[in-house]
Amino acid sequence: TLANPRVVLKDGKGTLHMDVTTDIAAGQAPVTTPGVPLAALTASADALDGTVLDWTGITAALTEEGSTIFAYQGRPMYPAGTALDPVAISGDVSVPTLTVSQVSELGAENEVTVSGKG
C-alpha cells in the first residue's frame, strides 16, 4: 500500500515520498516504512501564481528505493530511473505576511514588535 504522499521541491527538482506498507511473507504482519523516497521529480519553476499552485507535467522517475518496492523474489521489476506517469500538483497556498508595530521614529527607547503569519 502506498499512502500519505509528500512532495519536496526546490528549484524545480525534488522527491515524491510515500509511506509504504508491504506484505513480504504470507502469514507475517505487514511492515510499514514511512517517508520512502519513491520518485525523483523535475518541474518548471513558474508554478506559483499569487496564492494558487498549479503544476502539471512534473516528470517522475523511480528512485533506487522505489525500485525495491516493486520487486518479485528480491528482484526489482522496474529499475531505478524508469519513467513514471507525470505528476500534477494543485491547490491554494497561503502567502506569508509580516507585521511591524513601528517603522518610523525609531530609537533606543522604542519597542518594536514583529509578527508573522502564513
Q: What is the pLDDT of residues 22-47, one digit of tens each?
A: 876 667 888 899 999 999 999 876 66
- Is residue 105 scored above 90 in pLDDT? no
Query: DSSP string spanning the chain?
Result: -EEEEEEEEETTEEEEEEEEEE--STTSPPEEEEEEEEEEEE--S--EETTEEEEEEEEEEE-HHHHHHSEETTEESS-TT-EEEEEEEEEE-PPPEEEES--SS--TT----EEEE-
pTM: 0.70
